[in-house]
């Protein structure tokens, strides 16, 4: 590999997303051999020296850091991967952009629009390539849904409906904050299910169906106080445990969204359904290789919902994997994202969603929370372009 095509990664964070992104960097060369650029696992950064050393050894990073400020200015790093908790995204991204590094950032872009806006300005001022891991766009069946919608087969869209349901925080004994539980601490996460789960639904929805104009939302925090893992003290819970909102899209369709961590029995039930004039589509993460499709134009004696197993070599991303008919899974969405990022370095185009597009999702999240707090409709201010 020529030196100029090495993309020396500096990963920040050694949790769930650090592993998911690293797996993608490791797999890419084997399954996307035609890409010019290749990631090199140059350095990983995490605050605990023991932990970062263990992570580097397990996953094959060449070096370690315990302070991200040292990492982002290292001359042997080309791209910073931000896989650390939400409260760190903005400061790291701005410093990395100033140091001329490309940035691959885990979702959500930041905790708020106020934090996200300067991130967009920083990457644009520095002219560095940037992207945000809204990974579900790159499930082959979801990418196929985009192709079907863009082909016009659905006609005018009337409805977009989406859920992201989990049940992992029902126990009142679960602490908030700290290792593994920062998503429950509003200071670190920024919000609860709105930024963590609905952000995925909103990103996919706007990608498939265009901008969200205004929202009306309700949120609930079922468990009002939890022990904080870092202080050992019981403290008020500031996150939204559940959120439901409805909205208008720019194209005139109506949206209905729900996310919760209190749907007993649901682990990650992420679904969407789109109803158009001529046809409808639905998708379910727990059966992620299938896209369901109903076409009113079908001959009436065979008309009905068809279940398309998205695993054939002419369907999105599949030719890079195995033989037609066998399945791929969750981790492949990150590989696809990294593949598209590396391709974008060849073409010079943006790797969607870039920071500017992810800012629009942030605006919707913020409008949702503001609407719930004020019990009123809120304009999002979104200016969407795919
Ligand atoms: C939270 O449980 C979580 O891991 C999110 O943070 C991810 O973004 C989502 O894909 C799955 O659920």
Tell me what pLDDT residue 191 has.
Answer: 98
- For ligand 1, pick from 196, 202, 261, 285 the residue to mutate: most ligand atoms within 8 Å of CB: 196
Do the Cβ atoms of 64 and 74 come closer than 8 Å? no
Q: Which ligand 1 atom minimizes the distance to the CA of 261?
A: 2
Do the Cβ atoms of 86 and 95 come closer than 8 Å? no
Q: By alpha-carbon position, which residue is closest to atom 6 of ligand 1?
A: 196
- pTM flag (> 0.85): yes
CA 167 to ligand 1 centroid distance, Å: 12
Residue 239 sits at φ, ψ, to 5 deg, of -90, 160
CA 192, CA 203: separation in Å to the nearest integer?
16
CA 233, CA 181: separation in Å to the nearest integer?
15
Tokens 């009142």: give the residue. Answer: 172
Torsion sign (Cα): 332, 71, 352, 90: positive
Q: By alpha-carbon position, which residue is closest to atom 8 of ligand 1?
A: 196
Tokens 């691959």: give the residue. Answer: 104
| Nearest CA-CA partner of 241 in 282, 183, 323 | 183
Mean pLDDT by 10 residues, the chain (386 residues): 92 98 98 98 97 98 98 98 98 99 98 98 98 98 98 98 98 94 98 98 98 98 96 97 98 99 98 98 98 98 98 97 96 98 98 98 98 98 89
Q: Which domains does the chain have, with CATH numbers?
A: 3-136 (3.40.50.720), 138-379 (3.30.360.10)
Q: What angle do CA 98, 99, 100 make, to 5 degrees?
A: 90
| Nearest CA-CA partner of 217 in 270, 264, 255 | 255
What lies within 8 Å, CB to CB, of 2 at 6+ separation is none
The side-by-side arrangement of strands in the sheet containing 63-65 is 63-65, 38-45, 6-12, 79-82, 102-106, 130-133
Q: By alpha-carbon position, which residue is closest to atom 1 of ligand 1?
A: 196
Integer CA distances (angstroms), 220 to 93, 164, 244, in order: 31, 15, 9
């Amino acid at each position: 590999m020529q030196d100029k095509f090495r993309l020396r990664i500096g990963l920040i964070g050694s949790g769930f997303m650090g592993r998911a992104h690293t797996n993608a960097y490791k797999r890419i060369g084997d399954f996307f051999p035609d890409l010019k650029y290749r990631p090199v696992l140059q350095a990983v950064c995490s605050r605990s020296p023991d932990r970062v050393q263990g992570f580097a050894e397990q996953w094959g990073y060449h070096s370690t850091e315990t302070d991200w400020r040292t990492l982002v200015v290292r001359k042997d790093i080309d791209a910073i991967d931000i896989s650390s908790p939400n409260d760190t995204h903005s400061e790291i991204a701005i410093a990395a952009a100033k140091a001329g590094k490309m940035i691959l950032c885990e979702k959500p872009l930041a905790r708020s629009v106020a934090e996200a806006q300067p991130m967009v300005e920083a990457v644009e001022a520095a002219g560095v390539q940037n992207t945000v891991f809204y990974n579900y766009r790159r499930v082959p069946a979801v990418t196929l849904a985009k192709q079907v919608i863009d082909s016009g087969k659905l006609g005018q869209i009337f409805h977009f409906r989406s859920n992201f349901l989990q049940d992992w925080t029902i126990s009142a004994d679960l602490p908030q904050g700290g290792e593994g539980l920062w998503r429950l601490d509003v200071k670190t996460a920024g919000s609860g299910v709105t930024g963590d789960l609905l952000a995925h639904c909103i990103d996919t929805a706007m990608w498939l169906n265009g901008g969200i104009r205004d929202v009306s939302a309700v949120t609930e925090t079922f468990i009002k106080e939890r022990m904080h893992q870092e202080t050992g003290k019981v403290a008020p819970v500031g996150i939204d445990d559940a959120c439901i909102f409805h909205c208008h899209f720019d194209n005139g369709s109506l949206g209905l969204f729900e996310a919760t961590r209190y749907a007993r029995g649901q682990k990650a039930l992420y679904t969407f359904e789109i109803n158009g004039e001529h046809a409808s589509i639905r998708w379910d993460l727990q059966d992620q290789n299938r896209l369901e499709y109903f076409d009113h134009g079908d001959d009436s004696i065979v008309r009905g919902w068809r279940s398309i197993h998205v695993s054939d070599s002419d369907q999105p991303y599949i030719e890079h994997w195995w033989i037609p008919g066998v399945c791929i899974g969750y981790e492949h969405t990150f590989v696809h994202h990294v593949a598209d990022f590396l391709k974008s370095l060849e073409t010079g185009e943006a790797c969607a969603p870039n920071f500017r597009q992810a800012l629009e999702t942030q605006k919707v999240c913020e409008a949702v929370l503001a609407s719930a707090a004020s019990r009123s409709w809120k304009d999002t201010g979104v200016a969407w372009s795919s």
